[in-house]
Amino acid sequence: MSPHPLELPIVEVTVFEDRAHIVREGPIHFEGGQSRYALASITPVLADRSLQGSLHAEVEARLGAVRIARRLETSSDDEARIRLEDALEELDADLAERGHTLSLIRAEQVALIEIDRLLVQELSEDAAADRWDVEPARRSLEAIGERLVSSARARAALELELEARGADRAHLERRLVACKRARSERRASLELLLEAEAAGEGRLRVEYVVPGACWRPQHRARWMAGRLEWSTYACVWQSTLEDWRDVRLRLSTERPSLGASPPELESDVLRARPKREIVRVAARDQTIHTTGLGAGKRVSELPGIDDGGEVLTLEPSEGRASIPADGRPFRVPILEMQIEARLERILRAELAPLVLLRSEQVNEGARPILAGPVELLGESGPMGRTSVLFIAPGEHFELGWGPDSALRVHRQQERLDEERTALSSWTRVPHRVRLRLSNLGMIPRKIRVEERIPVSEIEEVEVHLDAKLTRPGYEPDGDGILRWVLELGPRDHQELRLAYELRRKGNVQGL
């Protein structure tokens, strides 16, 4: 009994980080008794264990076995192969003839060179014997030279033709090899067994999971006079061998195959050791951990989708989408909102001698902003790219918009000689920092400057800020960060000074 053909279009797709869940659904008309149906076109890469079907009908009917049948189809074009073989044979004959002609030209050149050498030798002997006739010798040498020139030209032209013919032959060989190689294509069909008490109609639903599909969030931020137009897109790739045409698309952060096991506990052994008289210390950069403002560790590549530990399911703004199975990225809009933002200029010259534009805003949406790249657009066009981490609803976050080209910065740091008095066990090391800022533009600019001084974690090392030599107006915090707010007028320049002392006891080594 041959199976009845079945049409089940793809109506819904849920894309995960590295796979997709496909739903096919459509009407079906069945006869009483047992019937077989086959869906001729389905992707052969689906996961067999994920394949399942369901039937909803007005009469009593039951869906039996649902399985996938895979087959390997091979085909080759004999006519094209014969044409390529004939063309290759003709080209080989032409190459052989031209190669023979080139051999004759080379032999002629060798003979002419030898004749020219013998003629010159004979002329030398005749001149020594005083029986030298100039005119016949000149005519012979000129004739040999002209023949050598024409032979060299013919040889060069023939070698170029042979090189081009050789490239044509290599191309024909590659085409012939590709034509001789049997073309294999894996195909699959879906077979269903249905049992019903009487004829009727119903609705059939088939679900399965396929690899070769993924999505990642992308963002776009446009600065518009104090407001930020924020757009979030889902960049979807799929090469599942099935085109998704006008489907209901869902984008999920769920990880269906992600398993977890409890960590193993290990013994933590404590050992006592005598206290050293010499304290060895080292200076290091410590990351200041905070909450909000996109706090977290930035990585060069985003391995997955950070959803903050809560599974999210997003849908496109249009609700439906069409994505071909060509493996190319396809952007689907999923969020658009306008955010109040505050723009400021900030300088951290120790890290980079540039005054950077930074905007601070709040995620005013009901959903979090997922980690991903951000395309920055200004009022006049593109301004660059940056990235954000996971941003919860109501959380403050920052965006860097690049340097202000009208501002110039020069930073100079100096460590002075160590000082130690005879009656003190402390050694002092003065440090000086000078910052010069210039505004080359015709618009006044307000800049927030941040500098830092070391923070000691032990009693044997102290850091003291020299308030007399430091420019006033700073605001210090517990992490050693000092902040100034400077206002530079048009064509204006200012200087900022910072001075501090690092004091250590005599038993401290390493600084």
pLDDT at residue 296, rounded to an integer? 47
* Pairing label, strands 213-224, 372-378: parallel
Torsion sign across C-alpha atoms 169, 174, 175, 180: positive
| Nearest to 231, CA basis, from 97, 335, 385, 365 | 335
Contact 406, 439 (CB under 8 A): yes
pLDDT at residue 445, rounded to an integer? 92
Q: How far apart are CA 278 and CA 502, in angstroms?
A: 18
Q: How far apart are CA 289 and CA 17, in angstroms?
A: 29
| Nearest to 339, CA basis, from 396, 280, 254, 420 | 396
The per-residue pLDDT for range 6-17, each reduced to its tens digit, is: 888 999 999 998
**Other beta carbons within 10 Å of 384:** 12
**Other beta carbons within 10 Å of 288:** 11
Q: How far apart are CA 245 and CA 505, in angstroms?
A: 75
- Within a 13 Å sphere around the CA of 275, how many CA atoms are in the beta-carbon half? 2
Cβ burial, residue 125 (10 Å; 0-12/13-18/19+): exposed
Q: How far apart are CA 198 and CA 200, in angstroms?
A: 6
67-72 long-range contacts, CB within 8 A, separation 24+: 67/190, 67/191, 68/42, 68/44, 68/188, 68/189, 68/190, 68/191, 69/188, 69/189, 69/190, 69/191, 70/44, 70/186, 70/187, 70/188, 71/186, 71/187, 71/188, 71/189, 72/184, 72/185, 72/186, 72/187
Q: How far apart are CA 462 and CA 453, in angstroms?
A: 11
At residue 20's C-alpha, the angle toward residues 335 and 44, to 5°, is 150
Q: Look at the domain 78-180 and name its fold.
A: Helix Hairpins (1.10.287)
The per-residue pLDDT for range 131-187, each reduced to its tens digit, is: 666 677 778 888 888 888 888 888 888 889 888 888 888 888 888 887 776 556 677
Torsion sign across C-alpha atoms 323, 327, 333, 334: positive
pLDDT at residue 256, rounded to an integer? 76
pLDDT at residue 9, rounded to an integer? 92
Contact 39, 46 (CB under 8 A): no
Full pLDDT tens readout for the chain, 511 residues: 678 888 889 999 999 988 999 999 999 888 888 888 888 888 888 888 889 888 888 788 888 888 888 876 665 566 777 888 888 899 999 999 988 998 999 898 888 888 888 888 887 777 777 766 667 777 888 888 888 888 888 888 888 988 888 888 888 888 888 777 655 667 788 888 888 888 888 888 999 999 999 999 999 999 887 789 999 999 999 999 899 999 999 999 988 765 567 888 888 888 887 776 666 766 667 666 555 555 444 544 445 788 888 888 999 988 889 999 988 999 999 989 999 988 899 999 998 899 999 999 999 888 899 999 999 998 888 888 999 999 999 999 999 988 988 999 999 999 988 887 767 788 888 999 999 999 999 999 999 999 988 888 888 888 889 889 999 988 888 888 999 999 999 999 999 999 999 888 877 776 6
Instruction: Identify the H or E element spanning 193.
Output: strand 183-196
The pTM score is: 0.65
Largest CA distance in the chain: 127
Looking at residue 161, its amino acid is: E
The per-residue pLDDT for range 427-461, each reduced to its tens digit, is: 888 999 999 999 999 999 999 999 988 888 888 88
